[in-house]
Chain A
Amino acid sequence: NAGVMQNPRHLVRRRGQEARLRCSPMKGHSHVYWYRQLPEEGLKFMVYLQKENIIDESGMPKERFSAEFPKEGPSILRIQQVVRGDSAAYFCASSPVGYYGTNTEAFFGQGTRLTVV
């Protein structure tokens, strides 16, 4: 039973390019969360999605960032026209249901380390 799979693990982009980060949730999980972690800081919530729906995007920057979780395929976090300040580790987590409790907490992937040069 594979865990949450994120790819690529490392991504280097030049300023102005686009970055696309992929997240395949655990089998049977239909809820996906994206978090960003700056060096030596905790994770910061970005967006919560269910299949084909954005449930909570209160942590997403208003410009250049978008996320989707289509009916088929992985969830995608897309950053357009990247800037140096976008350099961070981006983590995806998935859970089987939208409510929480024992055995329903989200599992995290290994993250994508984005470096903007």
Chain B
Amino acid sequence: GQQLNQSPQSMFIQEGEDVSMNCTSSSIFNTWLWYKQDPGEGPVLLIALYKAGELTSNGRLTAQFGITRKDSFLNISASIPSDVGIYFCAGRREYGNKLVFGAGTILRVKS
């Protein structure tokens, strides 16, 4: 089945540091999405990417859709305590609406 390999699994960083996480796949995806999930809540969409090579920002977040369409990364600049949570990448194939999710990156920030 389709799988997304997301790394790192978890990270513990100092407030103010930049964060980077990525997702790779052996299959091509035509859409890459990045979500954040807080404890006890549903995923909230952060950034959506629809074209290979696309680089998109949302405040302190920046994400890129890899040229090969098999990977994507998310960067968070100048992390703050409220950035803690679980970040998921998700991919969608050209036909069909279902999303394939990575296993998540747990972000913990030291103040």
Q: Give A contacts to B, CB under 8 Å.
A: 4, 31, 33, 35, 40-45, 48, 55-56, 58-59, 91, 93, 95, 98, 100-102, 105-111
Question: A43, A55, A109, A111: which contacts B99 (Cβ < 8 A)?
Answer: A43
Partner-binding segment picked from B35-43, B60-68, B75-83: B35-43
B103 x A108 contact (CB < 8 A): no
Q: Which of B41, B44, B50, B102 contacts A42 (CB 8 A)?
A: B102
Cβ of B111 < 8 Å from any Cβ of A?
no
Return chain A residues, CB-CB under 8 Å to B102.
Answer: 42
Q: Which of A41, A42, A91, A106 has the most CB of B within 10 A?
A: A42
For residue B10, give the distance in angstroms from its CB to the closest CB of chain A: 10
Q: B97–A100 contact, CB under 8 A?
A: yes
B: number of interface residues (CB 8 Å) = 25
A91 touches B43 (CB 8 A): yes
Q: Are A42 and B103 in contact (CB under 8 A)?
A: yes
Identify B98's interface contact among A56, A108, A109, A111, CB under 8 A: A56
B92 within 8 A of A: yes
A88 to chain B minimum Cβ distance, whole angstroms, is: 14
The CA of A56 and the CA of B95, in the complex, are separated in Å by 11
Which residue in chain A gives the minimum CB-CB distance to B9?
Answer: A40
- Per-residue interface assignment for chain B, residues 23 to 66, with 1 indicating a CB less than 8 Å from any chain A CB and 0 otherwise: 00000000101010000111111001010000000000000000
Give bound CA distance, A111 to B35, whole Å. 15
Q: Is the CB of A59 within 8 A of B98?
A: yes
Nearest residue (CB) in A for B96 is A56
State the Cβ distance, A14 to closest chain B Cβ, in Å.
23
> Cβ of A108 and Cβ of B43 under 8 Å apart?
yes
Find out whether the CB atom of B97 lies under 8 angstroms from the CB atom of A56.
yes
Closest beta carbon of chain B to A36's beta carbon, Å: 11
Report chain B residues within 8 Å CB of A110. 40-42
Q: Are A45 and B99 in contact (CB under 8 A)?
A: yes
Distance of A43 Cα from B33 Cα, bound (Å): 13
